[in-house]
Structure 1
Amino acid sequence: MRPICLALCLSASPAAAQDTDLELVLLADASGSITQEELLFQREGYARAITDPDVLSAISRTAYGEIAVTYVEWAANQAQVVDWTRIAGPDEAQGFADALLSMPRQAYGRNAIGAALLEALRLMEVNEIDGWRRVIDFSGDSAGNFSGPGIEEARDHVVAQGVTINALPILRPDDPGRAQGGLERIYEDRIIGGQGAFVVTARDRGSFSEAVKRKLILEISGEMPERFARAD
């Protein structure tokens, strides 16, 4: 009976961690500056991008042919809207997109960017996934930090763990521009970090989906663009 018991015990044990090419946290703004309409628009942009044939092609060309993705919204609190999902093809991508579009809003309040970056790191540390690369895809339309750890303090801690932080600033009409210290410059100076870190900008609502798609392809492929890029 001992061999049977051993087999049963082994079958009940947790599955060993599997390698994947990329652990990617999509860290999206849900703070008070983001209306419900804007929140849904952001989710639609990410859902459209993750199912785009060009993004799926980039996934198929990775070393492992798959990536692991989770979607988290940040404000005063952080909410994991869609759990870690392994995506290797259109079916998994569509399932991720459908889940993203079906979930209610769960993050509210003013900005806590430092806490959001640390939460993204924590989700990577506890997910039982062994990614060859780890990236946080941070997006937002402001740079305030009204509670929790400081932005630079959190960024430096995350980067020290071997994680790259990229950023997608969503510009508003009154943004003073990169040369005048606008949101693009702030994100470049205070948020991004790690190997090959970069900024891709959504200059307006119309360019958001294209900016997300471009950013995902760069992150998935592991390409290292210029530190600053723009999706017009």
Structure 2
Amino acid sequence: MQPVDLALCLAVDVSASVDFGEFGLMIGGLAGAFREADIAAACAAGPRGAVAVSVLFWSSAQEVAVPWLRIDGAEAAAGLADAIDNAPRLPGPGATALGPGMAAGLGLLGRFTAEASRLVLDVSGDGAHNQGRPPGPVRDIGVAAGVTLNALAVLNEEPDLLGHYEAEVIGGPGAFAMSCADYADFAAAIRRKLRREIGGGLLVA
């Protein structure tokens, strides 16, 4: 793969707290975001003209749902959207193993073989960590390796989840956490988050 401005791993919660309908809203919202003209254009707007994106599903176990794809405009972004739409829900529902999910995302970034100006792990979910290695030390490992970790908290089940993500998940240059009320609001929230991440941390209306 040619050098990119950003390598972005999207780590998505598929634990038991995410039911079939919520999974559909989340994945549909994520895919739909990359069909937006402004997001596709932002992917190609940097000095290297492209970003690389992968998608990781995490629960008690983790699976790469979409391997690294280079996004350099609308056609490639649409291909990524189709790949997200068609990704099976693997692994099966389990615990909210946030720390192991983050570690798997960092591992995926560590295996990215091309040159990237920025490395970002984008974590989204609806529950606090409840199994496996704690997220805080995992976050610290990522920050030490030059990764920025951002988060999107879905507050439908745990209204104080944003604080947990701010304390235990996010870190690195320009790191931020956002929230949305429920999965019906996920599509709009992930679009705002991706605009900010792809734009280098700048808040875009």
TM range (shorter): over 0.9
Select 1:105's aligned residue among 68, 89, 100.
89
Provide the residue aligned with 1:214 in structure 2. 192
Counterpart of 1:202 in structure 2: which amino acid? C
Paired with 2:38 and 2:19, the residues of 1 have a C-alpha distance of 30
Q: CA deviation at 1:101?
A: 1.2
Identify the range of structure 1 (54-63 vs 127-136) with the bigger mean alpha-carbon deviation: 54-63
Secondary structure of 1:129's partner? coil
Identify the range of structure 1 (200-209 vs 35-44) with the bigger mean alpha-carbon deviation: 200-209
Provide the residue aligned with 1:73 in structure 2. 57
Paired with 1:193 and 1:107, the residues of 2 have a C-alpha distance of 26
Provide the residue aligned with 1:13 in structure 2. none
CA contact (8 A) 2:43 2:49 kept: yes
Provide the residue aligned with 2:99 in structure 1. 114
CA contact (8 A) 1:155 1:191 kept: yes
Provide the residue aligned with 2:145 in structure 1. 161
CA contact (8 A) 1:58 1:217 kept: yes
Counterpart of 2:67 in structure 1: which amino acid? D
Output aligned runs, 1:182-197, within 5 Å: 182-197=160-175
Provide the residue aligned with 2:131 in structure 1. 146
Larger Rg: 1
Identify the range of structure 1 (34-43 vs 157-166) with the bigger mean alpha-carbon deviation: 34-43
Segments of 5+ residues of structure 2 without an aligned counterpart are none
Aligned length: 204
Segments of 5+ residues of structure 1 without an aligned counterpart are 1-16, 177-181
Structure 2 residue 114 is the aligned partner of structure 1 residue 129 = yes
Paired with 1:130 and 1:60, the residues of 2 have a C-alpha distance of 16
Paired with 1:119 and 1:204, the residues of 2 have a C-alpha distance of 25
Q: Residues 219 and 143 (structure 1 numbering): CA distance in 2 closer, same or farther, change over 3 Å?
A: same
User: TM-score w.r.t. structure 1 length?
Assistant: 0.83
Equivalent pairs: percent with the same residue?
Answer: 37
CA contact (8 A) 2:129 2:135 kept: no
Q: CA deviation at 1:220?
A: 0.5
Q: CA deviation at 1:224?
A: 4.1
Q: Which has the higher contact order (CA 8 A, sep 6+)?
A: 2
Structure 2 residue 74 is the aligned partner of structure 1 residue 96 = no
Runs of 4+ with deviation above 6 angstroms: none
